Amino acid sequence: MKRFINTLKNIWNIKELRTRILYTLALVLIYRVGSYIVLPGINPSDLTGLQNQTKEGVLGLLNMFSGGAFSNASIFALGIMPYITASIVMQLLTMVVPFFAKMQKEGESGRNKINQMTRLLTVIVTIFQAFAYLANLRYQLNGATIYSITGSDSLNFLNWTLPISIMLTCGTLFVMWLGERITDKGIGNGISLLIMVGIVARLPFSLFAEFASRMEEQGGGLVIFFVELLFLLIVIMLCILLVQGTRRVPVQYAKRIIGNKQYGGARQYIPIKVNAAGVMPIIFAQAIMFIPVAIFGFSSSENLQGVRAALSDFTGFWYNLIFAIVIIAFTYFYTAIAINPKQMSDDMKKNGGFIPGIKPGKRTEEFFDSVLSKITLPGSIFLAFVAIMPAFVSMFGVNSQFSHFYGGTSLLILVGVVLDTLQQIESHLLMRHYDGLTKSGRIKGRSQM
């Protein structure tokens, strides 16, 4: 306890770190206040249908990412997910299209161009999702509580649908701007931090709902509730292991004499992460699962509505099967983006390093590729298992809202973002010769190799 209080004092004594933390908290507060500002023309007391719709299924998960803004019909209802979708599309284009791949290699100017294209694509994605959201909103409200719905459909489109769609788009762009400001002048990754804040905001409601259900006559009582909390703690530890797990590859550096000093000669290790792709595969897979819900929502076909229902049930077989396959596939994809065996081999050769028993050059590249393949497969399967774990937990009677925290995208994001943020705070402390947050002073986040 004394160490914790001293750490807080040290954080407060560092002016730059104190300013960054307060700046981050101020922008997070703005984001949370905006999630309760209801769209014009909507009576908040008549949103029961929408709130019931977002208690479970894929829409429930989307509502969690937005911190409840989706079910509140707020100006931030679409949250930051359109920006994430646009970012993922741009990353895919840099891998497939030579024009974008070349642009990415142009340095800072190329990255700025890609960022501008990502923002433009975000606007397009958000406009599409805004119309889908409003169509679903009108269905849930039956048109009765939308004050401006009078007269012809064209008049209704110009008077309410179009302006509100623009407002939803501006809300998402503002949230994106808040995330970028936090990254530049605050602490942690702004976009990930806003998603984490939205998830944490739903935790007290979910925890209370689960507690209330266990206190009922057939609920099982406090014993079952504490068993659930213990199991949740175990899952959190597994997620930390998944985020921080590495395999060390031994590297021997040749001795070099420069002047009168000898350099190299010692054996070192290259830590290769078991899950080098981080949470990006699971976020991308989740974005893919949102697409059918949005597209089929416009159709009245019974077959398409059946597909939509199957892909909206996060406890269903087909949803979890497709979800797991997409996660495994994109874990390999993002690992290929994050780690380039050829570049690692070339860099090692330039620095006079070699792996004992492996020839430098092509053989070393093949060795790295083999190691990545061996550790990525179990890592991707474990990632997929953690992602679909809420479906298994719900089979034991856990509340649908609380079950999202037993793995899945939400828990992995929570663990990853918390570790990244603590790592940045610890770096500021160690840079100014203060003790770190832990005795070892080595918190490993998602980006650390």
Q: Model confidence over 308-324: pLDDT tens digits?
A: 666 667 777 888 888 88
Predicted confidence at residue 30, as pLDDT, reads 93
What does the buried/exposed string (b/e) look like for 173-209 if buried means 16 or more CB atoms within 10 Å of the residue's CB?
A: bebbebbbebbeebbbbbbbbbbbbbbbbbbeebbee
For the cut 80, the answer to whether the pLDDT of residue 59 exceeds it is no
For the cut 60, the answer to whether the pLDDT of residue 232 exceeds it is yes
Residue 387 near residue 363 (C-beta atoms within 8 A): no
- Mean of pLDDT values over 119-129: 90
For the cut 50, the answer to whether the pLDDT of residue 177 exceeds it is yes
Q: If pLDDT is split at 50, 70 and 90, which confidence band does 173 have?
A: very high
Predicted confidence at residue 174, as pLDDT, reads 94
| Integer Cα distance of 448 and 369 in angstroms | 20
The SS3 of residue 353 is strand
Q: Which two tokens stand for residue 150?
A: 């009078």
The SS3 of residue 175 is helix
Predicted confidence at residue 57, as pLDDT, reads 62
Predicted confidence at residue 447, as pLDDT, reads 47
Task: Convert the pLDDT of each residue in 93-120 to its tens digit.
Answer: 887 788 888 887 777 788 888 888 989 9
Task: Convert the pLDDT of each residue in 64-82 to its tens digit.
Answer: 778 788 888 889 988 888 8
- Exposed, middle or buried, 360 (CB in 10 Å: 0-12/13-18/19+)? middle
For the cut 70, the answer to whether the pLDDT of residue 217 exceeds it is no
Residue 391 amino acid letter = A
DSSP assignments along 63-76, one per residue: HHHTTTTTTTTBTT
Domains 1-186 and 203-449 share a fold: yes
Find the helix or strand (DSSP H, E) in which 96 lies: helix 81-96
> How confident is the prediction for the chain on average, in pLDDT?
77
**Choices 1.10.3370.10, 3.40.50.2020, 3.40.630.10, 1.20.1260.10: CATH for 203-449:** 1.10.3370.10
CA distances from 281 to 58, 71, 73, 111, 286 (A): 17, 26, 29, 22, 9
Note the CATH number of domain 1-186. 1.10.3370.10
Q: Pick the residue with more confidence: 199 or 250?
A: 199
Question: What are the domain boundaries of the chain?
Answer: 1-186, 203-449
Predicted confidence at residue 209, as pLDDT, reads 80
DSSP assignments along 271-327, one per residue: EEETTTTTTHHHHHHHHHHHHHHHHHTT---HHHHHHHHHHH-TTSHHHHHHHHHHH
Find the helix or strand (DSSP H, E) in which 410 lies: helix 408-431
- Mean of pLDDT values over 421-442: 69
Predicted confidence at residue 31, as pLDDT, reads 92
